[in-house]
Amino acid sequence: MVRQQAFYMPWFANLESSEHLTDHERLLTFTRDAGPLGHEPGQFLQVSVLGVGEAPLSVCSAPREQAFQVCVTDKGHVSHALHKLGPGDKVGMRGPYGQGFPVGRFAGGDVLLVAGGVGMAPLRCLLGSLLSRREDYGRIILVYGARNPGCLLFKKDLDAWGRSGEVEVHCIVDHADDTWTGPEGVVTDPLADLELDPENTRVAMVGPPAVFRFAGAALLERGISGNDIYLSLERRFQCGIGKCGHCQLNDLYICRDGPVFSWSFLKNRPEATELGQ
Amino acid sequence: MPGTIGPKKTWEVSFAGMEGLLTSLLNSGVTVYAPVERKDRLGRYLFARLSHPARMAWNYTTTSLPPKKLFAPPEETLFTFETGKGEPLVKEVCPTEPFVLFGVHPCDLAALDRLDAFYADSPAEYRWQAQRSRATVVGLDCTPDEHCFCVDMGTMETRHPADLFLTPLEQGWLVQTYTDKGEEFLNNTPRERARESAIEEAAKRTGEKRKKAAGRLKGSVEQIAAALSRSDEEFWEKYSAACFSCGSCNLVCPTCHCFCMEDRLDVSLSSGSRIRKWDSCQLAGFAKVAGGGDFRPSASSRMRHRWKHKFVYLPRRFGTAFCVGCGRCTRSCPGGVDMVSVANKLLETFGERVE
């Protein structure tokens, strides 16, 4: 029998740095001996801390860079263990897995990125990919909503993107504080004010189900086709290859068939964005 | 997924000949898993390592756990690891020694066929395939009990993926071989080319089985799927009221395949293993995500998902229902949820009226 890929066996990456992003998030930077990761924007890794377990994390650095990065929220056993690691530690990886954003379809038009909370992480990867061929796209607009100013990820990048003039950056927070000079509200607020060319705009959205529901509905109302709105869904993947069953969304296995889908494709699949009661 | 394919060759083997085959098989030292009566619960059976030919339960009704456990065990080690300075040492664990799986009923053969298709679908799961290739599978004809609905599910006459299949006759066995492996299996067993009368006798037996167990479902698989697509919240709330969300139906199902992965650390804290074990879509929290959201928080949403997965979603991908009519879920449900009654209620409530 032909020996096939040993899916469940991790390979090891070198942790180069662990950087404080917010009170709950750290940015981990890795290299591996085999060279760049070779991922597409929207793909994820199964990251292992041996003895603790494995967690799915999306890659948040641009493709083709020598190092790759993941943003880790301290929320469970594995993420907590990842937060404690430091430079020089070896971290188990499987992947990258999944179908990413169809970047080829974005060329030639405007691109609107809608991020809610930690959904900014995979979109940073997509944005990096778009900026590496900036001339291929029209406007690039980022609308990013976070709970409060302290929760905003990648503040340095947000500043740099805004200053460069290459990206129109709109950040909004649910609850402002004294440091905040931007608007207060939800992610659909800036969407309502944006001038958009609906025929010529592709959307990439990552966030909690509520963002999908409200922002999705708002964009459809603005005349953007469901075929041009892409969402990246999150589930607790265990295998990453469509076998373990944890990521089933009606008839789909999100890890294998997604995690990126078009709005139209998910339209008649209620488990996509509806958290049950 | 071929359901019924013709045998390569059809033989007759005497009762004594079959005893001899089993005896010499055990004497050769090869591992044989076969249905044996449970010592803890008489009248119940399980696939266990056969120690003596006399323990073989030729007339068993069904086993508590399906034969999938021999290819994807309830818990298995994927790899072991050692951590220390530098890169951790990981070593894959994947058993390789061959074994014989003896006495698999047609419904369970149909289930293996479906799992073969599921695991072969891209990306193919080499662990399942490696485990399957270790085994010689010997099928055995059965007698349906009151919970079986294999006839309605179209699995009563399944032979694939058995290497050979045994049907009892008044005098001896009708043995059909389906693969070279199955043919080799008979190499040292005295046998005759089957007489026409023996083949007829086996066919008559099949006809009687069909008569006994047919018509339990009041509609076809396609009609059940169509009714499921129309089913509403109210229906599932009503029929899941008896469900304890215990997951027994998943554990005993011959086609269920969901699993979870877990790390085990040795007391040294520097070595351990990663295992995978069966999981259940009926347990609360199966569809939970980081941050606490749950995509199927109620028993009714989980029950509906299980039904749709077996009758609508997987058939879309593989062209066949992932229920084989073995009745194990009904037998094992502590709440008394009966697969056949729920299916018939579905058909009654949401089926299209046939004029």
Query: pLDDT band at residue A277, thresholds of 50, 70 and 90?
Result: very low
**Cα–Cα distance measured from residue A48 to residue A44, given in angstroms and rounded to the nearest whole number:** 13
Query: pLDDT band at residue A45, thresholds of 50, 70 and 90?
Result: very high
Check pLDDT > 90 for residue A210: no
Tokens of A163: 């200053």
Q: Which residue has the higher pLDDT, A42 or A236?
A: A42
* pLDDT score recorded for residue A268: 83
When mean pLDDT is compared across A148-152, A208-212, B72-76, the lowest value belongs to A208-212
Contacts of B90 in chain A (CB under 8 A): 9-10, 50, 92
How large is the average pLDDT for residues B111-119?
A: 97
* Pairwise CB contact (< 8 Å): A248 & B309: yes
Proportion of chain B above pLDDT 90, given as a percent: 86
How large is the average pLDDT for residues A226-254?
A: 92
Domains and CATH numbers, chain A: 2-97 (2.40.30.10), 103-273 (3.40.50.80)
Q: Which of B76, B81, B121, B126 to mutate to test the interface with A (most CBs of A within 10 A)?
A: B126
* pLDDT score recorded for residue B291: 73
Could you tell me which chain B residue has the CA closest to the CA of A90?
B87
Check pLDDT > 70 for residue B353: no
CB neighbour list of residue B229: distance below 8 Å, 6 or more residues apart:
B312
How large is the average pLDDT for residues A52-56?
A: 96
How large is the average pLDDT for residues A90-98?
A: 95
Check pLDDT > 90 for residue A271: no
Proportion of chain A above pLDDT 70, given as a percent: 96
Contacts of A246 in chain B (CB under 8 A): 258, 260, 279, 286-287
* pLDDT score recorded for residue B289: 82
- pTM of the entire predicted model: 0.92
When mean pLDDT is compared across A101-115, B165-179, B209-223, the lowest value belongs to B209-223
**Cα–Cα distance measured from residue B298 to residue B282, given in angstroms and rounded to the nearest whole number:** 9
Query: pLDDT band at residue A274, thresholds of 50, 70 and 90?
Result: low
Which of B90, B123, B262 is the closest to A10 by Cβ? B90
Contacts of B81 in chain A (CB under 8 A): 50-51
Query: pLDDT band at residue A3, thresholds of 50, 70 and 90?
Result: very low
Query: pLDDT band at residue A234, thresholds of 50, 70 and 90?
Result: confident
Average pLDDT in chain B: 93
β-strand A68-73 against A140-146: which pairing, if any?
A: unpaired
Query: pLDDT band at residue A4, thresholds of 50, 70 and 90?
Result: low
Helix-, strand-, coil-residue percentages of chain B, each rounded to 5: 35, 20, 45
For residue B55, the cross-strand partners are: none
Beta strand residue intervals within B72-218, DSSP E: 75-82, 89-92, 99-104, 135-140, 164-169, 172-177, 192-193
Check pLDDT > 50 for residue B355: no
Check pLDDT > 70 for residue B6: yes
* pLDDT score recorded for residue A5: 65
How large is the average pLDDT for residues B75-103?
A: 93
Q: Which residue has the higher pLDDT, B329 or A3?
A: B329
Residues A15-42: tens digit of each pLDDT = 999 999 999 999 999 999 988 999 999 9
**Cα–Cα distance measured from residue B355 to residue B346, given in angstroms and rounded to the nearest whole number:** 18
CB neighbour list of residue A124: distance below 8 Å, 6 or more residues apart:
A60, A61, A71, A153, A154, A157
Query: pLDDT band at residue A2, thresholds of 50, 70 and 90?
Result: very low
Could you tell me which chain A residue has the CA closest to the CA of B264?
A51
CB B249 within 8 A of CB B337: yes
CB A151 within 8 A of CB A120: no
CB B348 within 8 A of CB B218: yes
* pLDDT score recorded for residue A276: 43
Q: Which residue has the higher pLDDT, B169 or B7?
A: B169
Q: Which position has the token pair 């009892």?
A: B168
Classify residue A174 as exposed, middle or buried by CB count within 10 Å of its CB (0-12, 13-18, 19+).
Answer: middle
**Cα–Cα distance measured from residue A28 to residue A72, given in angstroms and rounded to the nearest whole number:** 7
* pLDDT score recorded for residue A270: 79
Check pLDDT > 60 for residue A1: no
Q: Which residue has the higher pLDDT, A234 or B252?
A: B252
CB A55 within 8 A of CB A248: no
* Pairwise CB contact (< 8 Å): A7 & B123: yes
Check if B48 contacts A (Cβ < 8 Å).
no
Query: pLDDT band at residue B340, thresholds of 50, 70 and 90?
Result: very high
How large is the average pLDDT for residues A86-114?
A: 96
* Pairwise CB contact (< 8 Å): B295 & A271: yes
DSSP element (H, E) containing A208: none
Distances (CA, A) of A147 to A53, A77, A177, A185, B278: 29, 23, 11, 9, 38
Check pLDDT > 90 for residue B334: yes
CB-defined contacts A:B, below 8 A: 131
Check pLDDT > 60 for residue B1: no
Q: What is the distance in angstroms between the Cα of A261 and the nearest Cα belonging to chain B?
A: 17
